Chains A and B, each alone.
Chain A
Amino acid sequence: MGTIETFVDATSTPHFDSVEDVEARLAGVGYLASPAVATTVFLADRLGKPLLVEGPAGVGKTELAKAVAQVAGARLVRLQCYEGVDEARALYEWNHAKQLLRITAGRDESWDETRTDIFSEEFLLARPLLTAIRGGDPKVLLIDEVDKADVEVEGLLLEVLSDFQVTVPELGTVRAERRPFAVLTSNAARELSEALRRRCLFLHIGFPEEELEHRIVRLKAPGLDAALVESVVRVVGALRAMDLRKAPSVAETVDWARTLLALGADTLDETVVRQTLGVVLKHQEDVAKAAAKLDLDAV
């Protein structure tokens, strides 16, 4: 362990001591992490590198960032990406209206004075990326659905994510006093550039193992009978093996468990499954296919 500290610069202070520590503390705020997730979060924290999380919708990619923020007592700074998000929304913007007011207010001073004044911190509107690296308090930077943003925005992210600094031409380079724990999530709608991927640790969160999903359902839908939880998890497992348009995710499993709880069902049988399949499957053709494969109409 002694060698590793020399590589990591002083701007990052680790939040976690060990992989077990990650696992236990995340579980403490209601996020049950698989061993792979816990290991990768620990490494991202230790190596001070951003974490790129991919996986199907509803497996808890965004939740992971929130849980880490909660555990580390850090502020969560979120940049939600969409098509057309740009520098002004992601990085910083000058407050033009305020600058104009300042210029008109100080009519008798020289232009040089005014100019240096209006390009000072006071007139800078910090957007998420700049917010995340300014100030000494611990922060978690969540860049959500980075695959939805245009390719140009990736270029913008490179400087922030590799050196944790932002260059504002009028002010100079702003360096992070304390590195934020950065999490990027992606649904792989678009192939991210190799340059961006290389700056990140890569984590794929897939559907959880049966045993882990069992625990998640028990945690999120307390009060559901243990045997019923097992049936639910098994049926969802079978649905995932079916090659559907949209395989049910953990979010759907939990929704289903809660639905059953609300309905007061105590066992899973044909009628209950047929009535509630729509909670788990979101496409009509998937429902039809699953019903056929599960022999729902056989009896």
Chain B
Amino acid sequence: MSALSGAGVAERLTGFVRALRDQGVRVGTGESVDAGLAVAALGLADRERLRAGLAATLLHGEGQRPVFDQVFDLYFPRTVGAPGDPSAAAEVPLDRDELRARLAAALAENDAAAMAQLAAQAVDSLGGYGESPGSDGWSAYQTLERLRPQTLLARVLAALREGQDERAGFTDRLTADEIRRRIEDFRGLVATEARRRVAERRGTDSIARRAVAPTADRVDFLVAHQGQLAELHRTVRPLARKLASRLAARRRRAARGRIDLRRTVRGSLSTGGVPMRPVLRRRRPGRPELVLLCDVSGSVAGFAQFTMLLVQALHDEFSKVRVFAFVNSVDEVTDLLDRGRADPEGLSARILSGAEVTRFHSSSDYGTALGEFAERYVSTLGRRACVFVLGDARTNRTPPNADALRHIRDRAQRVYWLNPERRALWDTGDSAASAYAEVVDMYECRTARQLGALIGRLVPV
């Protein structure tokens, strides 16, 4: 922090705010000024206080916190250059075994300071790549591949058990999970440290633009990896709650406005026949039926699964929710979804094993699946049914069978198609997007944020 002073702070702060804006955090000038006042009030001596102060003034929600923390670590790094401690510098580079031994000890002790220091040393001695300036850098991936902290679990457990006397307490069964969580934290520390070192080399601004992971609701469904999907699943319930209150508000608004003449006249008798107080017609609380038709083939499974979970969490808002899955054959999976509520991660495996979604081969075929749905299930749809088709419309060059979709549209009250692909990619390769888009409204839906907005807007109330 010694490098920061006077005008440097203001500049650093505006750079920081710019980087946050690039990541989609909306920060106004007023907030920047508040942040400046916060820095003046808190001083720069305590880094965690500074972090809390800036978060309080610049953030408006906890969802933006992960992005904020990453950007903060870049703009207000813990140290500058290679790991600082001069006595340690004499003996660096530490080799891999020594690092592993020290890490195991730190994990057993739950010593956060030691873990942070080890992360710095590990990146320094294991993470460097490239020789010539311009192509060299530090890689968190390479560091972790060489260090393999996840393999330390058994060793840490053994060390912990050795130190203890024989009585096996109840809480010992929690130890393994706790160590796993600490290892996960260590991986995060390594990633932060590697980003910091690269940022020193390449300039903070450019790294902040490229290397900061977006918030979960802005991650593209099609490229999300396992960890991001798991994080997404944790957002299902809060998102569903927000959508439910949005739908309820729309419903309330829709109920207002039309005058009930009979009751208005009746009410006017007490004011001598002058209708002082108009009485509004009450709507019957009819709720729509929601039908999902999901492509669950490998390429778009993450998207379909997220949407199913979201809709399931919203089931109170509808008279009925039915979910159908297909790859090249349609089957109803509503029951599978209900029964497996406790284990959302295993959902796609359960669908693939428990429902008949493939026949003869395992690549998706929209034409056949839509045809089958139109033939077998359309007659069971209610008058107020709203159908969402989820999929990328990539038919593997089989006929798109848009007539089947037309048939579904004629029967249901509304049909929408949510496509997780970028609009620019529609109709490229084997995508039959426009053939379907002619029949029903097709929307791009790449992230959880877009999905929430679309459901809140499109679902009838």
Contacts and interface: CB of A to CB of B under 8 A. Distances in A.
Interface of A: 1, 3-4, 7, 19, 35-36, 39-40, 42-44, 46-47, 49, 54, 151, 188-191, 194, 197-198, 201-204, 206, 230-231, 234-235, 237-238, 241, 243, 267-270, 273, 285, 288-289, 294-295
Interface residues of B, number: 40
Interface stretch (B32-40, B115-123, B277-285): B32-40
Contacts of A4: 37, 40-41
B408 to A, nearest CB: 33
Given A190-B245, A191-B242, A197-B61, A36 B52 contact: yes
Q: Which 6 A-B pairs have the closest CB atoms?
A: A36-B52, A39-B52, A197-B60, A204-B62, A40-B56, A201-B56
Nearest to B249: A151
Interface stretch (B169-177, B290-298, B331-339, B420-428): B169-177
A190 B242 contact: yes
Contact of B170 (A43, A188, A231): A231
A270 B341 CA distance: 26
Contact of B41 (A47, A189, A194): A47
Nearest to A55: B62
Interface in B167-217: 169-171, 173-174, 177-178, 181
Contact of B342 (A42, A197, A237, A289): A289
A235 to B, nearest CB: 6
Contact of B34 (A39, A49, A288): A49
Given A46-B41, A234-B178, A35 B59 contact: no
B60 A194 contact: yes
Interface stretch (B23-31, B398-406, B431-439): B23-31
Contacts of B177: 238, 241
Interface of B: 26, 28, 30-31, 34, 37-38, 40-42, 46, 48-49, 51-53, 55-57, 59-62, 65, 169-171, 173-174, 177-178, 181, 234, 238, 241-242, 245, 249, 341-342
B34 A35 contact: no
B171 A189 contact: no
B64 to A, nearest CB: 10
Nearest to A3: B40
A43 B169 contact: no
A188 B238 contact: yes
Nearest to B34: A47
B153 to A, nearest CB: 16
Contact of A43 (B26, B41, B59, B238): B41
A3 B55 CA distance: 21
A234 B171 contact: yes
Nearest to A190: B245
Contacts of B31: 198
Contacts, number: 105
A295 B62 contact: no
Given A42-B41, A204-B65, 17 more contacts: A1-B41, A4-B41, A35-B48, A35-B52, A36-B48, A40-B52, A42-B42, A43-B38, A47-B37, A47-B38, A54-B62, A202-B60, A203-B56, A230-B171, A267-B169, A273-B170, A295-B173
Nearest to A34: B52
A241 B181 contact: yes
Contacts of A151: 249
Given A3-B40, A19-B49, A202-B55, A231 B171 contact: yes
Contact of A1 (B34, B40, B52, B55): B40
Contacts of A267: 169-170
A19 B38 CA distance: 12
Give the interface centre of B40, B61, B178, B249 by most chain A CB atoms within 10 Å.
B61
A202 B35 CA distance: 12
B339 to A, nearest CB: 12
B60 A43 contact: no
A285 B238 CA distance: 19
Contacts of A285: 341-342
Give the interface centre of B37, B51, B65, B171 by most chain A CB atoms within 10 Å.
B171
A45 to B, nearest CB: 10
A206 B62 CA distance: 10
A92 to B, nearest CB: 25
Contacts of B53: 39-40, 43
A44 B41 CA distance: 11
Contacts of A201: 34, 56-57
Nearest to B252: A150
Given A198-B31, A237-B178, A43 B57 contact: yes
B56 A194 contact: no
B369 to A, nearest CB: 32
Nearest to B41: A46
Nearest to B175: A234
B245 A198 contact: no
24 contacts: A4-B40, A36-B51, A36-B52, A39-B49, A39-B53, A40-B56, A198-B31, A201-B34, A201-B57, A202-B59, A204-B65, A230-B171, A231-B170, A234-B174, A234-B178, A237-B178, A241-B177, A241-B181, A268-B169, A268-B170, A268-B171, A270-B170, A273-B170, A294-B174
A294 B245 contact: no
B41 A198 contact: no
A190 B245 CA distance: 7
B169 A231 contact: yes
B241 A189 contact: yes
A47 B238 CA distance: 31
Contacts of A243: 234
A190 B40 CA distance: 34
A267 B170 CA distance: 9
Contacts of B174: 234-235, 237-238, 294
A71 to B, nearest CB: 19
A7 B37 contact: yes
